[in-house]
Structure 1
């Protein structure tokens, strides 16, 4: 049973991911150890687990649900790809809002990102995103998934569906954020890597929050 499930996931999902894309896109190696575990005893749900050992990179585990059809065939297909790509992006993004590593990032984003979070707290909380740092990381990861799909020439309707899903989840800045990351891709030689580009991301969210707050203020006059 284990062998059949693992082979099915590798054949139908893992083999279709270009793992070289991530280091090329970010201009760096992952800062977390990422592993996939098939939850053979956990049903069809997907979730994540992390572990931090002293003096080592954080371990991130994606627990992938396991379910079969009436013929006992594992039901893995390409619809798992965005989930896998999403989770792997976290390994390259999350550390930029680690206050111990990048305190200036946190300081500069705090006010604006907190405003954005408070303006959508209900929907973010329902998705288990309990603070603005998680919201920003999720925003970047979701935008990066769309960049991956564009680079790999997914069907336009598939990409649009993913973009619309993010907007419906109240990542309302997603179209503009994707455009920003595409700008980074096109000017890779100028920026070098994602870390050097991060100040532009900070400016983006600060400007977005300012415009949104101005809209609210105008409505209350």
Structure 2
């Protein structure tokens, strides 16, 4: 009799582990209370996925009132997903993980930082060996201890709320989002265009859908081959031009930001350019000069690519829009990028050309000083 029970239990576990699985599109990642949540994924030049740990994070952000999370007017699903979150999870808005998130949020733990720190844990929220959490993320959270505590409380929240069951109930929704993004990516060919423009390929490109996000965020994690795994956490714009420029923009950060950091001493010599736009930049979450520099450059690259693949009107629309938001150096940078585009035999990669962009800031700085 005991053997029969054991065999029956094993059979049940096996069946549970197969719930909702589709070959080539899903992988088992999350386990909670005997129910299996899965990562919905389509692979390719750019991997596209909905990740349980990111959806779990968004639920906590929703409950904490994070301004980087939408509660209505989603691009897809006509708001029912956010409404389902409200109905299912609202009674858990006083949980320890929500309170801790609110505390960290007051310190600056919002926008790109929360999804980025989720790259340093596995799918069961255990720390990944050999990956150190960057100091900038620790600073945004207050300290590293807060992030470690957050992981622990998030795991407890997942189990208490039976998050995996909620996730599985919405697998059709997630699968639809993944298919839509993959179709858009394949149609635009934007990853190949990014690789061509910057002149070299990174280890991997990963689009993780955040349907509740107000925008997009870039992150990168070192891989074993000396390159990086690039991540774009992003909402899905309906407009093809907006989708294209956001992809080029977010993945562009992983190319541009390290170059700015490498040349930061030289860049800081021209920080007088920040003075007239400092408040406007801070209001848009770019409160430091180097962040402002990065934004000007990645936006300019995105708009040059828009020019090539969507035409002059599309490019000028975004340039004018950003200029109205006080990105006042974009015209000078986009003009300089033409030199890069016309001399790729001399500038094999964007890294080779970056010093020429520094010259733009130098010239503008000297002109401002009179």
Aligned CA distance change for structure 1 residues 46 and 27 (closer, same or farther; 3 Å): same
Shift of 1:61: 3.6
2:361 maps to 1:202: no
Q: Which residue of 2 aligns with 1:116?
A: 273
- Compared CA separation, residues 84 and 118, structure 1 to 2 (3 A): same
Structure 2 partner of 1:148: 305
**How many corresponding residue pairs?**
196
**1:9–1:76 CA contact under 8 A, matched in 2:** no
**1:48 match: secondary structure:** strand
Q: What does 1:89-108 align with in structure 2 at a 5 Å threshold?
A: 89-98=252-261, 102=262, 105-108=263-266
Deviation at 1:167, TM superposition (A): 0.8
Shift of 1:139: 0.8
Residue aligning to 2:146: none
Alpha-carbon distance between aligned partners in 2 of 1:190 and 1:155, rounded to the nearest angstrom? 26
1:118-153 C-alpha deviation (Å, 9 max, x unpaired) = 22100110110121111111111011011111222x
Match of 2:243 in 1: 80
- Give unpaired runs (5+ residues) of structure 2: 1-172
| TM-score w.r.t. length of structure 1 | 0.78
The Cα offsets for residues 83-131 of structure 1, whole Å up to 9 and x where unpaired, read as 1121111121111022xxx2xx21212121x111122100110110121
Are the equivalent residues in 1 in contact too, given 2:218–2:250 (CA < 8 A)? no
Contact 2:249 2:298 in 1 (8 A): yes
Is the radius of gyration larger for structure 1 or structure 2?
Answer: 2
- The answer to whether the Cα contact below 8 Å between 2:207 and 2:233 also exists between their aligned partners in 1 is yes
Task: Name the Cα RMSD after superposition.
Answer: 2.5
Using the alignment, how far apart are the partners of 1:132 and 1:58 within structure 2? Answer: 25
State how far apart, in whole Å, the 1-side matches of 2:185 and 2:220 are.
Answer: 25
Q: Is the 8 A contact 2:340 2:353 kept in 1?
A: yes
Out of 292, 296, 299, the position equivalent to 1:135 is 292
